[in-house]
Structure 1
Amino acid sequence: MSTPSDQISPPSEPMVSSNDRNLAMLTHLSGLLFYFIVPLIVWLVHKDRTDKAYMVGEAKEALNFQLTITLAAFVCCILQIVLIGFLLMPVLWIVNAVFCILAAVKVSSDGHYRYPFTLRLVS
């Protein structure tokens, strides 16, 4: 029979300030205009601070996604030689917009967002 002291409770997530949550949301939304620049700046500024772990995690996630989108845009530019890149570029822009907005909504409401189909280049 186990006693209450024997039971290990799962670690609770530390409280995230509303400023950190808002900055994380803006970091995700910045991908619409600035691609990887803003997530890179946020990550570089806060990566060594333990009290900003939530924001660093979200900035890394946004940075990885925007680097993936930038790489895909480069491939689309190369594929414009065979004309398929002209069709793929608008699709890529729509995918970027949809996932940036989804991430911002998720982060602003209740927590973390993990982009699908993302190369994890920054860890």
Structure 2
Amino acid sequence: MLAHVGGILLGWIAPLIVWLMYKDRDEFVRRHAVHALNFQILLFISMMVSALLSIILIGLILLPIVWILGLVFSIMAGIAANKGEEYKYPMNVSFVK
């Protein structure tokens, strides 16, 4: 749960720390940390692209949408992890495996 919800405040750093600490100890936590890390990296890239697109004003619309989606999906993933359920982000790319 910390990997998902920690990403709200610390971005990709929180899931990276959880993944590095638990990758050899607990398969369930490792899987969730990897999913959270991949999502936070994708979210970071999306935020940077939106910030660049704010030059032509479309980024001003995209930036809050990306932020809200990241917040909602991270909370949903944290709740699922707390219940012991698997969670897959609706849009995710496997940067880390």
Unaligned runs of 5+ in 2: none
2:30 maps to 1:56: yes
Which of these residues, 58, 76, 79, is aligned with residue 53 of structure 2? 79
Q: Does 1:38 align with 2:14?
A: yes
RMSD between aligned residues: 1.0
Is contact 2:2–2:18 with CA below 8 Å preserved after alignment? no
Structure ranking higher in helix proportion: 2
Structure 2 CA distance, aligned partners of 1:70 and 1:46? 23
Q: Indicate the residue corresponding to 2:2 in structure 1.
A: 26
Q: TM-score under structure 2 normalisation?
A: 0.94
Q: Percent identity?
A: 38
Q: Which residue of 1 aligns with 2:66?
A: 92
Uncovered stretches (5+) of structure 1, i.e. residues with no partner: 1-24
CA distance in 2, matches of 1:32, 1:38: 9
1:110 corresponds to which letter in structure 2?
A: G
Instruction: State the Cα deviation string for residues 66-118 of structure 1 (Å, max 9, x = none).
Output: 00000101100110110111111111111011001111111111311111111
Q: Displaced runs of 4+ in structure 1, greater than 3 A?
A: none
CA distance in 2, matches of 1:107, 1:93: 21
Paired with 1:84 and 1:39, the residues of 2 have a C-alpha distance of 30
Partner residue, 1:107: 81
The structure number with the bigger radius of gyration is 1
Could you report, residue by residue, the CA deviation over 1:29-49 in whole angstroms, capped at 9, with x for unpaired residues? 1111111001011112222x2
The count of corresponding residues between Structure 1 and Structure 2 is: 97
The TM-score normalised by the length of structure 1 is: 0.75
